[in-house]
Structure 1
Amino acid sequence: MTVYRAYIVGRHDQFIGVVQMDCADDDSAVTSASRLVDSHDVELWQMDRPVARFDAPSKQIRRK
């Protein structure tokens, strides 16, 4: 398992929370992190590597 972190993004792109996840690969981490999106954006990272960003209003994903 690989450790990923999903950062909850507040106003002015400041991280306001974090959820640590152990996932088998990027695809499973993306699926898990996408469930965290509500009124805030979410950025998914694996160590210092950005994996994806989820924008709250449109619920669209951008792979980095």
Structure 2
Amino acid sequence: MSTAYHAYILGPDGHIQNRVDVLCDDDEEATRMAEQLVDGHDVELWQGARMLATFRMKE
């Protein structure tokens, strides 16, 4: 059964610019998918009120 996760795209000021909803089977799959969203901005991965990871853009 898939679980809903939310990847938040952060702007330079640290505020949310966009949200990407993903359905994944587990935390590991969601983490891999969210990490791919890092493209010139930071990304936070959440599952409900639980923060799983923060991915920083490469400088």
TM-score by length of 2: 0.93
Q: Structure 1 regions of 5+ residues with no counterpart?
A: 59-64
Q: 1:61 maps to what in 2?
A: none
Give me the whole-angstrom Cα distance separating, in 2, the residues matched to 1:13 and 1:53: 12
Match of 2:55 in 1: 54
Q: Structure 1 segments of 4 or more deviating over 2 A?
A: none
Give the superposed CA RMSD: 0.9
- Give 1:36's aligned amino acid: L
Matched residues, percent identical? 43
The amino acid across from 2:33 in the alignment is: S
Secondary structure of the equivalent of 1:12? coil
Q: Is 1:21 the counterpart of 2:22 in the alignment?
A: yes
RCO comparison, higher one (Cα < 8 Å, 6+): 2
Q: Which amino acid aligns with 2:36?
A: R
Unaligned segments of structure 2, at least 5 residues: none
SS at match of 2:13: helix
TM-score (norm: length of structure 1): 0.86
Aligned residues: 58
One-letter code aligned to 1:14 = H
